[in-house]
Each structure stands twice: as structure tokens, then as C-alpha cells.
């Protein structure tokens, strides 16, 4: 405990990561405080209130597994829960574990400076004086820093505009209006079918066509839920052995897509398509490893788009060309079908982008589109954005921004050389966004809690990743990615969606070997970290 402030730990962010970190810190008897910029808990699910927002990992799996009573008592209503239900769940967790008294809402952390003499972090949160704490945990989220593109004339638009990740709390009424949606990633794919039902005219501005699998969302069947809950711990354990931390109960083929004939392959893809969701990419084991295998899965989806969209010219524009899965695959409820509506218009901006936003609408593809509302479904400055928005100064005054000029560097995604006693949850260099993120969050929070307990038991007050361990880890993350198809397209995994951002593949592919490595590091007395 820090003598001046009484704080062992400052946690930044009150999403699923921050909430669980606080709970585990309390269980260790540590004094912790959470600072959260928003006016409520829930993180992603507090901010992303756009129409159609829901999870793309099934609700029964996209939830905490650390507490048996919690997972038994919470009743998910749908296969893929909608945003309000997930937000209620986050609030339920905050109440059930009495977390709120240590959470300060409406408080943005702007800076944190390591004080080597006192061995503590001095954290500037809100308008108050800096607070000292021995440890600092960044639970700031990978997809929490909105990417609002700097399009000329943006401020001049006379109508209202929204970013999906900063959606208003009151219902946005699109009835009778001309609406433009910029983007065709997951947020757009979820919101477009819902907005289309309300708007008079909907214009979708597409830079890159997207692959999306049907969700086949539906109310959860009581017998299925009872079956899962009869061995919930077993499902969670099996999921932790899956490459992406979910889907152990999905049918999957461990072989190659190229080892079977065209008819068997089509049958396997069709079965996954009918089951719905992200499991489509599980149809064969080598879809993200082998480009030729991947091409077969991509072509199957293109066939589905051609069969769904009635106007052949529109269907042609909707056909994605990039490697399937190298941008996160979307999961939808009626996305492609929406382009059969008379009030929905697809605008191809792949050549020249959006030229300008004007008071009356926007100019693209050589004409001005008159609009009453613009929805920016343009994604996030992912993985590093929220961290680099703060001024984090480590040992010797080194800023994290300077340290990461050539791209993020970390050891295990958890620690950064030069930044003692700083932990990042789902940081670059860890599996995070390539997994069911709640599984990754639980694994990392538990590792950090174990580490804090170990340090206390050993009478140590300082831990820092070594430069050598960090270099080796960065090389490992790159080597693993190079054996996959992930680096082959301009995705946010690479930072390619934000102009000027360094292109480095940020997450680590594969959850089980990562978790095993973290356990080994801990078992060897936090190998690769310097303790004192
Ligand atoms: P977040 O939920 O992002 O929380 C971080 C919090 O930190 C935010 O509330 C933010 O306000 C706060 N914060 C950031 N910087 C500061 C600061 N400087 N000071 C104070 N507070 C700060 N993942 C899945 O695995 N499955 C899904 O189905 C899924 N669906 C998603 C749907 C959407 C629309 C989006 C955007 C993401 C989705 N994700 C999904 C990823 C999702 O972000 C994670 O699953 C998870 O919710 C992340 O939790 P977190 O606590 O790490 O971060
Ligand atoms: P995204 O995947 O990054 O998609 C952003 C879209 O906006 C892309 O189509 C992009 O085009 C386009 N875009 C960006 N800048 C543009 C510009 N200047 N001009 C024109 N178009 C532009 O963002 P997202 O849809 O918010 O999703 C981000 C991640 O959050 C997802 O990958 C997923 O991990 C998570 N998420 C999950 C769900 C879910 O289903 N549960 C829902 C939403 C989000 P380009 O492709 O050409 O860059």
C-alpha cells in the first residue's frame, strides 16, 4: 500500500477488464481505484449503443466464467445478446460484487508518470491533483478510441452526425430521413439493416466490401441453456483450449480444405453457414493458414452474396476481394438482403473515397448526396489508440508514444520495458482481439493478480519487463503472424485503418500457447521481468 494515498493500484477503465481487475485486487486485500471516462460501467457496451449492436460471440460464452453462481444465475435471452442486455449484465456484475464504491466515473486519466524515487505511478485523473499508486493497470480497451476520419468539410454538415462508438443515450429517430452510413465493417453491418427499416433513404458508402456470415440469432432454448449450465465450468475449460477461446461445442473439421473434393467442401461450408456466426471460419483447420484453402472459403461466401442480392450490379460491388478473415469477419442479421430494398443505395467509394462533406450532405463518386444524418461506422484507433491518448511517462521520462514510434512493443502484451509496475490488459502482443475477449481478459487479470500476490509475498515492490524478453516476444508475435493470412490485407489489426499509423500486426495469433507461456513465466518466478 502506498503510504501517501492508500492506493496499491489504479485501474483505468471500467469495462469487463477493469471490473474484473478491481474484483481480483479486492480479493487480494489491495486498495484499488478505477477511473472511467464514461458516466457508467460496461466500456464497449456503454458506448456502442447504435441500432443493431450485439455480440458476435454467443452470449453463453461471451460472459464471465470466474464465478459459478454468477454464470448460473444470469439468464441470457438471445443466442447473440443485444447491447442493452450486455450493458445490464455489466451493471449486474458491478452491483453483485459491490464494485461501485471504488469506481470513479466521468473521470478521464490524461497522464501517468513513473516516480522512480518513490516507486509509484503519479496518475492525473480528472481535474484533481495526481494520485499516487504502486501499480497501474490499463484496462482501457482495444476498441474504445473512435476513429472519426478527417474528411474535408466535416464540421460544415448542417444535419446531425454520429459515430457508432459514441452513440447518444436517447433513441436516434431516423424516420423519414435521408441517412448516409460511412463504412461496411461489423458496426455498419449490424446497424444498416435496422436503420434501413426506419430511414426514408439510406446511402451506404463502401470503401471495401466485407465478408459476413448470418447470425441466425434467436431466443435461447431453455433446454439448451440447461444443458450448458449443467457443466458450465467444463465448457469454459474446453473453450480455453480453443485457438480463439470460444466455440468448443461447434462442429469443426481438423483437416485441410484442400484435402477433400469440391462437393464435400461445399457441404462443409454450407453446414457452417446454416449454423451461423464466426464458426464459418472453423469449417477447416487451415483457412487462416493457407491462401489456397482460404480462397475456397471466400468464393463460397461470394456465391452466397450473388444468390442473395437481386441486382447483379449491386451484388458485384458487394463481393469482397480480400482474403477472408484477414479483416475480422462480420456476423449479421439480414445485411446482404437489405440491399434488395428500394430505399437502400450502395455507393462505391473504393477509388476516390469521400471527397468532401458539405452542409447538405457529402460528395463521393463524382456527385453530391443530400443527407439529413451521417453515421460514421468508421471503427477505432484500435489496440494502441486509448493508451497513446494518455501521456504515459516511464523510467527516465520516456513516453510510451516515443517508445512505440515504430509500432507497439511489449512482453506478453502485459508489460513494457522502461515502464515498471505498469500492466496492460489485452495489450498489443497478446491474443486479445483475435479471441473471445472475455476469456482473454480473465486470463490476463488472473495472471496480473497472481503476479501482485507473488511480489507482495516476496517483499518486492517493482517489476519491469526486460528489453531482451520484449525483443524476443515482438519477434515471436511477428513470426506467428507471418505463418497466417492475417497480414495480407489493410486491417485495423495492422493499424492500416488510421492514416499515418505505423503498420505492425499487433495481436498474437493463438490463445492456448499464449496462456501456457504466461503460466510458465509465472512458474519461473516471472522470467523475463526484473524484480526488486
Ligand atoms: P472496453 O470495454 O473498451 O472498456 C475500456 C474502458 O476504458 C472504456 O469504458 C473507456 O471509456 C475507458 N477508458 C479508456 N481510456 C480511458 C482514460 N484515459 N481514462 C478513463 N477511462 C478510460 N469482443 C468479443 O470477444 N466478442 C464480441 O462479440 C464483441 N463485440 C463487440 C462489439 C462492438 C460494437 C465492439 C466495439 C467491440 C466488441 N468486442 C467484442 C470487443 C470488446 O471491446 C471486448 O469484448 C470487451 O468488451 C472489452 O472490454 P475492456 O474492458 O477490455 O475494454
Ligand atoms: P471497422 O471494422 O474498422 O470498419 C470500419 C469501416 O469504415 C470499414 O468499412 C472502413 O473501410 C470504413 N472506413 C474507415 N475510414 C473510412 C474513411 N475515411 N472513408 C470511408 N470509409 C472508411 O470498424 P467497426 O465496424 O466499428 O468494427 C471494429 C471492430 O469492433 C470489429 O472488427 C469487431 O472486432 C468489433 N465489433 C464487433 C461487433 C460484433 O459483431 N459484435 C460489432 C461492431 C464491432 P476499409 O475497410 O476500407 O478500411
Interval 27-54 mean pLDDT:
98
Both 407 and 524 in one domain: the answer is: yes
227 in a structural domain: no
The domain in which residue 263 lies consists of 250-308
Both 389 and 304 in one domain: the answer is: no
pLDDT band at residue 183 using 50, 70 and 90 as cut-offs: very high
Cβ(187) to ligand 2 under 6 A?
Answer: yes
Residue 247 to residue 153: CA distance in whole angstroms: 45
Both 136 and 256 in one domain: the answer is: no
Atom of ligand 1 nearest to the CA of 187: 34
295 in a structural domain: yes
Atom of ligand 1 nearest to the CA of 48: 34
Atom of ligand 1 nearest to the CA of 18: 51
Choosing from 45, 186, 317, 435 the residue with most ligand 2 atoms within 8 A of its CB, the one to mutate for a pocket test is: 186
Per-residue DSSP letter, 357: E
Distance (angstroms) between ligand 1 centre and the Cα of 142 equals 6
Give the count of beta carbons closer than 10 Å to the beta carbon of residue 452. 23
134 in a structural domain: yes
Nearest CA to ligand 2 atom 35: 186
Distance (angstroms) between ligand 1 centre and the Cα of 507 equals 16
Ligand at minimal distance from the CA of 17 is 1
pTM passes above 0.95:
yes
pLDDT value of residue 253: 78
Residue 81 to residue 331: CA distance in whole angstroms: 13
Grid cell of 34 as nine digits? 478505477
The count of structural domains within the chain is 2
pLDDT value of residue 365: 87
The torsion angle over the Cα atoms of residues 330, 333, 335 and 341, rounded to 10 degrees, is: -170
Distance (angstroms) between ligand 1 centre and the Cα of 123 equals 21
Both 295 and 391 in one domain: the answer is: no
Nearest CA to ligand 2 atom 46: 208
Interval 500-509 mean pLDDT:
96
Interval 39-59 mean pLDDT:
98
Atom of ligand 1 nearest to the CA of 107: 20
Both 300 and 398 in one domain: the answer is: no
Distance (angstroms) between ligand 1 centre and the Cα of 424 equals 13
Nearest CA to ligand 2 atom 21: 183
Ligand at minimal distance from the CA of 439 is 1
Among candidate residues 261, 280, 308, the one where a domain is terminated? 308
* β-sheet bridge partners, residue 206: 348
pLDDT at 400 over 90: yes
pLDDT value of residue 163: 98
pLDDT band at residue 1 using 50, 70 and 90 as cut-offs: low
Asked if residues 34 and 14 have their Cβ atoms less than 8 Å apart, the reply is yes
Residue 293 to residue 283: CA distance in whole angstroms: 11
What are the tens digits of pLDDT across the range 103-114?
Answer: 999 999 999 999
pLDDT at 136 over 90: yes
Choosing from 140, 165, 377, 441 the residue with most ligand 1 atoms within 8 A of its CB, the one to mutate for a pocket test is: 140
Ligand at minimal distance from the CA of 364 is 2
CATH of the domain at 17: 3.50.50.60
Distance (angstroms) between ligand 2 centre and the Cα of 153 equals 22
pLDDT value of residue 124: 98
pLDDT at 4 over 70: no
Both 295 and 392 in one domain: the answer is: no
The cell 463481393 sits on which residue?
319
Distance (angstroms) between ligand 1 centre and the Cα of 92 equals 17
454 in a structural domain: yes
Choosing from 325, 378, 436 the residue with most ligand 2 atoms within 8 A of its CB, the one to mutate for a pocket test is: 378
Cβ(183) to ligand 2 under 6 A?
Answer: yes
Nearest CA to ligand 2 atom 26: 379
pLDDT at 89 over 80: yes
What are the tens digits of pLDDT across the range 366-376?
Answer: 999 999 999 99
The cell 448460473 sits on which residue?
72
Asked if residues 395 and 415 have their Cβ atoms less than 8 Å apart, the reply is no
**Residue environment code for 272-286, b if the CB has 16+ CB neighbours within 10 A, otherwise e:** bbebbbbbbbbbbbb
Interval 466-483 mean pLDDT:
98
Both 42 and 124 in one domain: the answer is: yes
Distance (angstroms) between ligand 2 centre and the Cα of 402 equals 27
Nearest CA to ligand 1 atom 29: 55
Interval 288-306 mean pLDDT:
98
Which of 6-20, 156-170, 247-261 is predicted with the least confidence, judged by mean pLDDT?
247-261
Interval 390-405 mean pLDDT:
98
Distance (angstroms) between ligand 2 centre and the Cα of 183 equals 6
The torsion angle over the Cα atoms of residues 82, 86, 91 and 92, rounded to 10 degrees, is: 110
Both 270 and 386 in one domain: the answer is: no
60 in a structural domain: yes
pLDDT at 155 over 70: yes
Atom of ligand 2 nearest to the CA of 496: 48
57 in a structural domain: yes
* β-sheet bridge partners, residue 416: 419
Both 519 and 431 in one domain: the answer is: yes
Atom of ligand 1 nearest to the CA of 165: 36
Residue 196 to residue 344: CA distance in whole angstroms: 7
pLDDT at 234 over 90: yes
Residue 325 to residue 244: CA distance in whole angstroms: 13
Ligand at minimal distance from the CA of 335 is 2
The cell 443527407 sits on which residue?
371
Distance (angstroms) between ligand 1 centre and the Cα of 278 equals 19
24 in a structural domain: yes
pLDDT band at residue 251 using 50, 70 and 90 as cut-offs: confident
Distance (angstroms) between ligand 2 centre and the Cα of 164 equals 10
Interval 225-238 mean pLDDT:
98
Distance (angstroms) between ligand 2 centre and the Cα of 92 equals 29
Spell out the SS3 assignment of 275-321: HCCHHHHHCCCCCCCCHHHHHHHHHHHHHHHHHHCCCHHHHHHHCCC
Cβ(384) to ligand 2 under 6 A?
Answer: no
Both 394 and 304 in one domain: the answer is: no
Mean confidence (pLDDT) of the chain: 97
pLDDT band at residue 3 using 50, 70 and 90 as cut-offs: low
pLDDT band at residue 413 using 50, 70 and 90 as cut-offs: very high
204 in a structural domain: no
Cβ(321) to ligand 2 under 6 A?
Answer: no
Residue 18 to residue 140: CA distance in whole angstroms: 8
Amino acid at each position: 500500500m502506498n503510504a501517501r494515498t492508500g492506493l496499491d493500484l489504479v485501474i483505468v477503465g471500467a469495462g469487463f477488464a477493469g471490473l474484473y481487475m478491481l474484483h481480483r485486487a479486492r480479493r487480494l486485500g489491495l486498495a484499488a481505484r478505477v477511473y472511467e471516462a464514461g458516466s457508467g460501467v460496461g466500456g464497449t457496451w456503454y458506448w456502442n449503443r447504435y441500432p443493431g449492436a450485439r455480440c458476435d460471440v454467443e452470449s453463453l460464452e461471451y460472459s464471465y466464467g470466474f464465478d459459478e453462481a454468477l454464470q448460473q444465475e444470469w439468464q441470457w435471452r438471445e443466442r447473440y445478446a443485444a447491447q442493452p442486455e450486455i450493458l445490464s449484465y455489466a451493471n449486474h456484475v458491478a452491483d453483485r460484487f459491490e464494485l461501485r464504491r471504488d469506481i470513479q466515473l466521468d473521470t478521464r486519466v490524461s497522464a501517468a508518470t513513473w516516480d522512480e524515487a518513490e516507486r509509484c505511478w503519479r496518475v492525473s485523473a480528472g481535474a484533481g491533483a495526481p494520485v499516487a499508486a504502486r501499480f497501474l493497470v490499463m484496462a482501457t480497451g482495444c476498441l474504445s478510441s473512435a476513429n472519426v476520419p478527417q474528411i474535408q468539410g466535416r464540421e460544415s454538415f448542417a444535419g446531425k452526425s454520429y459515430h457508432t462508438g459514441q452513440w447518444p443515450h436517447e433513441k436516434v429517430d431516423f424516420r423519414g430521413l435521408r441517412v448516409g452510413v460511412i463504412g461496411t465493417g461489423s458496426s455498419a453491418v449490424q446497424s444498416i439493416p435496422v436503420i434501413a427499416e426506419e430511414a426514408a433513404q439510406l446511402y451506404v458508402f463502401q470503401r471495401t466490401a466485407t465478408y459476413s456470415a448470418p447470425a441466425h440469432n434467436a431466443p435461447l432454448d431453455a433446454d439448451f441453456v440447461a444443458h450448458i449450465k449443467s457443466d458450465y465450468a467444463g465448457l469454459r475449460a474446453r473453450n480455453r483450449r480453443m485457438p480463439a477461446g470460444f466455440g468448443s461445442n461447434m462442429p469443426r473439421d481438423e483437416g485441410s480444405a484442400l484435402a477433400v473434393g469440391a462437393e464435400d467442401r461445399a457441404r462443409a461450408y454450407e453446414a457452417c453457414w446454416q449454423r451461423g456466426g464466426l464458426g464459418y471460419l472453423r469449417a477447416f483447420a487451415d483457412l487462416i493458414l493457407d491462401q489456397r484453402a482460404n480462397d475456397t472459403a471466400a468464393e463460397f461466401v461470394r456465391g452466397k452474396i450473388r444468390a442473395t442480392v437481386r441486382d447483379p450490379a449491386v451484388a458485384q460491388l458487394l463481393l469482397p476481394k480480400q482474403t477472408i478473415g484477414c479483416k475480422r469477419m462480420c456476423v449479421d442479421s439480414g445485411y446482404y438482403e437489405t440491399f434488395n430494398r428500394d430505399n437502400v443505395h450502395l455507393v462505391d467509394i473504393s477509388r476516390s473515397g469521400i471527397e468532401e462533406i458539405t452542409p447538405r450532405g457529402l460528395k463521393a463518386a463524382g456527385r453530391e448526396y443530400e443527407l439529413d444524418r451521417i453515421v460514421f461506422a468508421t471503427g477505432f484507433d484500435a489496440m494502441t489508440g486509448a493508451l497513446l491518448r494518455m501521456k504515459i511517462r516511464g523510467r527516465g521520462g520516456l513516453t510510451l508514444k516515443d517508445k512505440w514510434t515504430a509500432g507497439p512493443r511489449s512482453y506478453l502484451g502485459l508489460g513494457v520495458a522502461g515502464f515498471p509496475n505498469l500492466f496492460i490488459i489485452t495489450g498489443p502482443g497478446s491474443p486479445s482481439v483475435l479471441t473471445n475477449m472475455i476469456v482473454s481478459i480473465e486470463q490476463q487479470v488472473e495472471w496480473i493478480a497472481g503476479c501482485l500476490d507473488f511480489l507482495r509475498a516476496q517483499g518486492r515492490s517493482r517489476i519491469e519487463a526486460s528489453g531482451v524478453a520484449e525483443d524476443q516476444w515482438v519477434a515471436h508475435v511477428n513470426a506467428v503472424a507471418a505463418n497466417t493470412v492475417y497480414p495480407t490485407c489493410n486491417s485495423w489489426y495492422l493499424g492500416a485503418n488510421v492514416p499515418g499509423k505505423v503498420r505492425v500486426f499487433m495481436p498474437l495469433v493463438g490463445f492456448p500457447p499464449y496462456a501456457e507461456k504466461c503460466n510458465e513465466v509465472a512458474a519461473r518466478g516471472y522470467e523475463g521481468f526484473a524484480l526488486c
